[in-house]
């Protein structure tokens, strides 16, 4: 399974041709027609926007590591919605000290959880903007690579057109979404795509997007909402997909209507997160609770 290979990032990079690795976002803006949709076949390309900071001069206090000052163009992130650091494939969860913020009595004040209070897999920022984290369960300190997402909020793949079929792309380490679809788009179809370890969702449809996703794998994404988050008035379907190890729910649906068919969900704290008025039809969903 590809999610297991992702933990061995060096293996991934050395096991494909150089032209199949892309380190800049991909924007698709030329669609077709309902009868003749555009087909973009990535042929296995990996779009990886991650910044490897493993060799940074980390200050090490057992399993709590702190960066030597802030990283350039990476200020403290106050919104716990997004993942801001990855240990190999694993996203770190931003934690704020809400009790201290209340006691402080200063509107808009942000206080992150103290280093000593962090649980495994959690991260915060010093007042100067340095990032600190406690190594996650299953990753021995100093034995795994450490990645930042890019300094801006780019997604790996942005779809800005209608009537398009996108196939065979793996999206990794975006600061925003692996696959991001905005606007009044119809006839969007994703086939055999993978969205791993992105700062926000693996796949996210907005506004009035109408999209079908088939045979996708969505895992290890850092959004507190879900591995998938479809919002606004979107209409989406997911068929024969595998969703696992995302920080939020497997699927977060806050759009108009959604259908999930013959999908496998595992290693998730929650399967579905729903806006009250969103419609969901599901059938053949296998929910493994191991």
Q: Cβ distance 178 to 166 under 8 Å? A: no
Residue 2 has pLDDT above 60, yes or no: no
| CATH topology classification for 2-50+151-288 | Pectate Lyase C-like (2.160.20)
Residue 290 confidence (pLDDT): 60
Residue 262 is encoded by which pair of tokens? 């013959």
**How far apart, in Å, are the Cα atoms of 177 and each of 148, 149, 157, 159, 181?**
14, 11, 8, 11, 9
14 sits in which H/E element: helix 9-14
Residue 147 has pLDDT above 50, yes or no: yes
Mean pLDDT to the nearest integer, 27-38? 97
Q: Tens of pLDDT along 98-135?
A: 999 998 888 889 999 999 999 999 999 999 999 999 99
DSSP state of 96: B
Residue 18 is encoded by which pair of tokens? 């150089």
CA angle 212, 224, 256 (to 5 degrees): 35
Q: Tens of pLDDT along 200-223?
A: 999 999 999 999 999 999 999 999
Residue 3 has pLDDT above 60, yes or no: no
Q: Which residue has the tokens 């061995």?
A: 8
Cα(131)–Cα(63) distance, integer angstroms: 14
CATH 2.160.20.10, the chain: domain bounds: 2-50+151-288
Mean pLDDT of the chain: 92
Residue 131 is encoded by which pair of tokens? 């990032």
Mean pLDDT to the nearest integer, 66-85? 93
Phi (first) and psi of residue 111, to 5 degrees? -125, 120
């Amino acid at each position: 399974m590809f999610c297991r290979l992702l933990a061995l990032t060096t293996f991934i990079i050395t096991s494909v041709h150089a032209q199949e690795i892309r380190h800049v976002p991909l924007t698709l803006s030329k669609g077709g027609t309902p009868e003749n949709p555009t087909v973009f076949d990535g042929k296995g390309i990996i779009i990886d926007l991650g910044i490897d900071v493993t060799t940074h001069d980390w200050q090490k206090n057992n399993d709590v590591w702190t960066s030597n000052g802030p990283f350039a163009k990476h200020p403290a992130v106050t919104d716990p919605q997004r993942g801001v650091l990855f240990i190999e494939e694993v996203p770190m969860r931003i934690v704020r000290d809400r009790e201290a913020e209340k006691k402080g009595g200063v509107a808009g004040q942000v206080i992150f959880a103290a280093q000593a209070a962090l649980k495994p897999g959690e991260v915060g920022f010093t007042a100067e903007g340095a990032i600190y984290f406690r190594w996650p369960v299953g990753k021995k300190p100093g034995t795994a690579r450490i990645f930042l997402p890019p300094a801006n909020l780019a997604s790996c793949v942005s779809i800005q057109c209608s009537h398009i079929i996108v196939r065979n792309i793996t999206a990794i380490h975006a600061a925003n979404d692996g696959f991001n679809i905005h606007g009044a788009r119809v006839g969007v179809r994703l086939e055999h795509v993978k969205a791993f370890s992105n700062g926000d969702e693996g796949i996210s449809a907005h506004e009035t997007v109408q999209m079908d996703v088939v045979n996708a794998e969505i895992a290890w994404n850092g959004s507190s909402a879900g591995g998938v988050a479809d919002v606004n008035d979107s209409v989406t379907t997911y068929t024969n997909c595998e969703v696992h190890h995302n920080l939020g729910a497997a699927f977060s649906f806050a759009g108009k209507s959604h259908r999930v068919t013959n999908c496998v969900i595992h290693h998730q704290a929650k399967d579905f997160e729903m806006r009250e008025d969103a419609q969901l039809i599901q059938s053949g969903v296998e929910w493994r609770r191991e």
